[in-house]
Structure 1
Amino acid sequence: MMAKAARAAAAWRTYREVTKPGSPKLMTRLRAIPRMVGSVMRGNYAGMGKGKLALLGMGVVYLVSPIDVIPDFLMVIGVVDDFGVFLWLMASLLGESGRYVQHERGVIQARLEEG
């Protein structure tokens, strides 16, 4: 029951962050994910380390993999663990990509101010 409340709280925090005035919107964040991954891999974005990126990648692999820690044939429990990973992954990706968009905006602003 506690994990269910934690997932709901994470989803609510993500929703509030995405809908906050002045914050990058959902589609902006989603489109920024490939750029963010590339920047992290090239070492051009210090806001997220390669370890965190690897952890997010493992979350994606877990979701698409036919092998589960808790098999889906156990119906409710098997689907709930996948859903929990999905919520964590989306909350993490949307949060990180929002910070990355803000970083990009700061870089662009600094370049404009330089001349």
Structure 2
Amino acid sequence: MKAKAARAAAAWRTYQDVTKPGTPGLMARIRAIPRLIGAVMRGEYGEMGKGRLALMGLGVVYLISPIDLVPDFLVLIGVADDFGVFLWLMGSLLGESGRYLDHERKVVRGTLEG
């Protein structure tokens, strides 16, 4: 029960962050995800390690895999684990992509000033 509340709270914080004035919006964050992944893989974005990226990849695989830890035929419980992984994954990706967009702005600003 505590894990569900923590995931819901994290999703709410992400929603508040995405809708806060002056921060990158939802679509900007979504469009930044492929650049974020590439930058992490090339070692150009040190704020996020490859291990965390791999964990997010496992989350995607878990969501699209027909094999679940908790079978979906246990309707409420089976869907809840998938939804929990989805909330964690979206919260993580949207939060990190927002930080990556800030990083990109700083790099561009530093390049223009230097």
Measured against the shorter chain, the TM-score band is over 0.9
State yes or no: 1:37 paired with 2:37: yes
Partner residue, 1:105: 105
Measure, in 1, the Cα distance between the counterparts of 2:34 and 2:41: 11
Deviates more, 1:3-12 or 1:92-101: 3-12
1:83-98, aligned counterparts within 5 Å?
Answer: 83-98=83-98
Partner residue, 2:17: 17
Measure, in 1, the Cα distance between the counterparts of 2:71 and 2:57: 20
Aligned residues: 114
Partner residue, 1:82: 82
Measure, in 2, the Cα distance between the counterparts of 1:20 and 1:81: 29
Measure, in 1, the Cα distance between the counterparts of 2:11 and 2:55: 19
2:29 maps to a residue whose letter is R
Deviates more, 1:92-101 or 1:16-25: 16-25
Measure, in 2, the Cα distance between the counterparts of 1:7 and 1:89: 10
Partner residue, 1:60: 60
Query: What TM-score, normalized to structure 1?
Result: 0.96
Per-residue deviation at 1:4?
2.3
Aligned-residue RMSD, C-alpha: 0.7
1:88 maps to a residue whose letter is W
Measure, in 2, the Cα distance between the counterparts of 1:20 and 1:40: 26
Sequence identity percentage? 73
SS of aligned partner of 1:73:
coil
Measure, in 2, the Cα distance between the counterparts of 1:18 and 1:109: 22
For structure 2, the 5+ residue unaligned runs are none
Per-residue deviation at 1:7?
1.8
Measure, in 2, the Cα distance between the counterparts of 1:42 and 1:60: 21
